[in-house]
Structure 1
Amino acid sequence: EDSKQLVRAAIGVAFLREKARMSEHATPADLEMVWDLVRGAIIHPMTTGPRFSASRSFQGFLAVPLCSLLKDGNIDELYRFHVWLPDGQRGNPDFAVHSHQAYAQSWILAGVGMDYQYTFEPVTSTADATHAAYSLSWADGKNTSSTHKTHQTSSTVVNTGKLGRTTRTATPIVHTRNMSYYIPLAAFHSTEVAPDTLHATLFVFDSHRGFDKDAPVLGPKDSESSTQFHDPAGVTPATLANMVEIVILIEQGQQRSGHHQWKSALTAFGKALDLCKS
C-alpha cells in the first residue's frame, strides 16, 4: 500500500511536469486531480520505505519535497508542496528578496499571495547601495555546502561584498486558487502572504529550462551572514495537507455560494467541517 501511495504522488508530479514542459495551462480540474493524488499520498500513514517530511524555509513557509532529482550536487528537478501557515512566521524580512538557481513555476492551491519583482543594479559605493548580494548554502545534518540538500536542517546566507541598488519594478501580482505563474532563473522577487492567512502552492524548480548556480539572495549591505533553522516545530506533512484541504473546501463553498449554487456550496462546507472534526 505504501508503494501505491508513492506512485500516486509520482503520477501527480509527472502530470504537472508534462504540463509545464509543454507550456500548457493546468485547468482547475487538472489541479484538483493532481492535488487529490498528492494529498492522498501525503496523509497516508507510511509504514515502510521513505516518508514525507516538512521543513521551514528561509522565506518562512513550510516545504514538503515530493520529488527531487539532483545532478552533480545541483537541482535538476525539484517538486515541492509549499504552505504559508496563519502563524505569523514569514521569515526574516531583511532577506525577503531572492532569486532561484533554476527556472521555477508555481500552481496555487489555496489562499492569496502577492509576488513582487525587482531589479538589482551593481554599484561600487556603499552610500549608493540599498542591498548586498548574499551566497546561499544548505545543511542537512551531515555537512554544509552550496550543493543542494533535499532534506534541510538549516540554510545560511553570507555577504559576498557585491553591492547594488534594488528597485521594485511593478505593482504586486496577486495569486489566487487555480492560478499559475513562473519565475525565470536569477530573477529577483519576493512573495508576501498576510501573517494571519494560509497560502499553499505546488512548486517546481526545473534546471532544464535554465540554471544559475550563483543566484543570490539580497540582504542588508552592512551585515555579514544569517542562518535560518528549518525545524517545522512538530508540524507534519499530513497536518499541512489536511489544513490546505479545509481551506480549499471553504474557498469552493464561498465561490459556489457566490454563484447561488447552494447545494454544492453546503456540500463543500460540510466536508470542511467533517475534516476539522476528524
Structure 2
Amino acid sequence: MNQEKTISRQELTEFYEPLLKGYSESFKTKINTIENITKTVFNDANEVTIDQLKDFCHTSNDNFLKSMIDRLIGVREIIYCRENNLELKMLAVWRLISNSIRLIPSEFTISSIGSQGFLSIPLYKTDKPLEAFDFIRLHIWDDSLDKYMDLQKCEDFSIHSHTFFAKSWIITGQIINNRYEFDLNSSNSKHSFFEVVYNDSLNQVNQHSSKAVNKGKNAELIKVSEEIHYESGYYEIKPSKLHKSGHKNSPLCSATFFSFTGKDGLGKSFVIGPKEITESEINRKMNIDPIYLLDKIDKQL
C-alpha cells in the first residue's frame, strides 16, 4: 500500500470522530473511547507501524474496534492516494473496507439508497470548515435495489452537480458518467434547476428523504460527453459541473469508492429536472443489509 508506514497517536485521534460518523448511533455505545483505544494500541509509544496495527486487529477480540481499525487503514489509503495522485490498490482497500462491514452486525452499518439509485455506505466524514470537508463512501449499484426506488423519479432527477470536488474509483463493474452543460437563454428549454431540501434525520450522514423544489430557472441541457469507466479506473468531477452516473453491468453489480473534498475549491450543488414538475419527494430505504452485495462483489473480483 502507498500510505505512510507509521501512524501516530495524534493521527489516530484525529481520525476517530470522522470514522464514527460512518457508523450508526448505536455503534457509539459499543466502541471504546479514543483515550482507551490509544492506550490499548500504543501503550507508551507515540506511533506504531501499519503492520503492527494490522497485527493488533488479528489478535483483538473486540470486533467493533477491529472494524474501526480496518476502516481507518482503508480510508487513510484512499485519502493518501487521492492527495498524492497515486494509484489506489483497489483489492487491498476493498478487503479492508468489506471486512470492516462484515465484522459487526448489520444494524451498526449505515446503508441507504441514494437519490441516484445506488446503495450508499458512509465510511468517513469531516466537515469543519468546508474548505477541509472530506466525505468518503462506498457506492454499490445492483438490480436488486430497484424494488426500493421509484425508478422514474431517479431518472427525472439524475443530472446534478456537487459543491465539492468528487473522485470515484471503480472497484468492480462498469460505471457510466455522462457530462452536461446548459443554456439559460434557449427557447428550447425542457428542464429547470431544482433545490434539494433534506428532512430532519436522526443521522446527519445519510438522510431518510429529500425533496426537489423547482426554482423556476429553465435551461436547455447539452450533453458534452459519454464515459464508461472500468474496474481499477477512476473519474473526477469538478465542483458545480453537471453529470449523471449509473452502471452498465447488469445482472452483475458495480461498486466504487467515492470521495468529496473541499480542498480543491467549492462550487454549487443543484439538480436538474423536468420543468413541468413543481416539486418531488424522494424517500430513501434505510438500513439495507449489504452483506449479500459484498458477497456478490467478492465473487466478481
Query: TM-score, with normalisation over the residues of structure 1?
Result: 0.77
Indicate the percent of aligned positions where both proteins have the same amino acid: 25
Q: Which residue of 1 aligns with 2:206?
A: 151
Determine whether 1:190 maps to 2:247: no
Aligned to 1:272: none
Give the match for residue 231 of structure 1. 285
Give the CA RMSD over aligned residues.
2.3
Matches of 1:75 and 1:235 in 2, distance apart?
Answer: 30
Give runs of aligned pairs for residues 49-198 of structure 1, distance below 5 A: 51-71=108-128, 76-87=133-144, 89=146, 92-123=154-185, 127-141=187-201, 149-170=204-225, 172-194=226-248, 196-198=251-253
Within 2, Cα distance between the matches of 1:74 and 1:56? 27
Corresponding residue for 1:261?
Answer: none
User: Which residue of the partner structure matches residue 58 of structure 2?
Assistant: none
What SS does structure 1 have at the residue aligned with 2:245?
strand
Post-superposition shift, 1:196? 3.6
Matching residue's letter, 1:133? F
Between Structure 1 and Structure 2, the one with more helix by share is 2
In 2, distance between residues paired with 1:114 and 1:205? 18
Whether contact under 8 Å (1:43, 1:237) holds in the other structure is no
Q: Equivalents in 2 of 1:122, 1:87: separation in Å?
A: 38
**Distance apart, 1:10 and its partner CA:** 1.3
Cα offset for 1:221? 1.0
Alignment gaps of 5+ in structure 1: 144-148, 249-278
Check whether the contact 2:172–2:256 (CA below 8 A) recurs between aligned residues. yes
Point out where structure 2 has 5 or more consecutive residues left out of the alignment. Answer: 1-61
Give the letter for the 2:155 counterpart.
P
Distance 1:75 1:129, change over 3 A: farther
User: What is the aligned counterpart of 1:7 among 60, 63, 69?
Assistant: 69
Equivalenced residue count is 233
Residue 220 of structure 1 corresponds to 274
Query: Counterparts of 1:196 and 1:132 in 2: how far apart (Å)?
Result: 33
CA distance in 1, matches of 2:281, 2:159: 16
**CA shift digits 1:85-141 (9 cap, x unpaired):** 123725621111111111000110111121111001223x7x431211111122243
Q: CA deviation at 1:142?
A: 5.1
Contact 2:159/2:272, CA 8 A, preserved across alignment: yes
Q: Provide the residue aligned with 1:246 in structure 2.
A: 299
Relative to structure 1, is the Cα distance of residues 154 and 14 closer, same or farther in structure 2, using a 3 angstrom cutoff? same
Q: Is residue 45 from structure 1 mapped to residue 109 from structure 2 by the alignment?
A: no
Aligned amino acid, residue 237 of structure 1 = P
Task: Please point out which of 260, 269, 281 is paired with 1:205.
Answer: 260
In 2, Cα distance between equivalents of 1:73 and 1:238: 33
Partner amino acid, structure 2, of 1:31: M
State TM-score, norm by structure 2.
0.71
CA-CA distance at 1:229 after TM superposition: 1.1
Q: 1:75 to 1:155 in 2, by over 3 A?
A: farther
Q: Distance in 2 between matches of 1:151 and 1:36?
A: 23
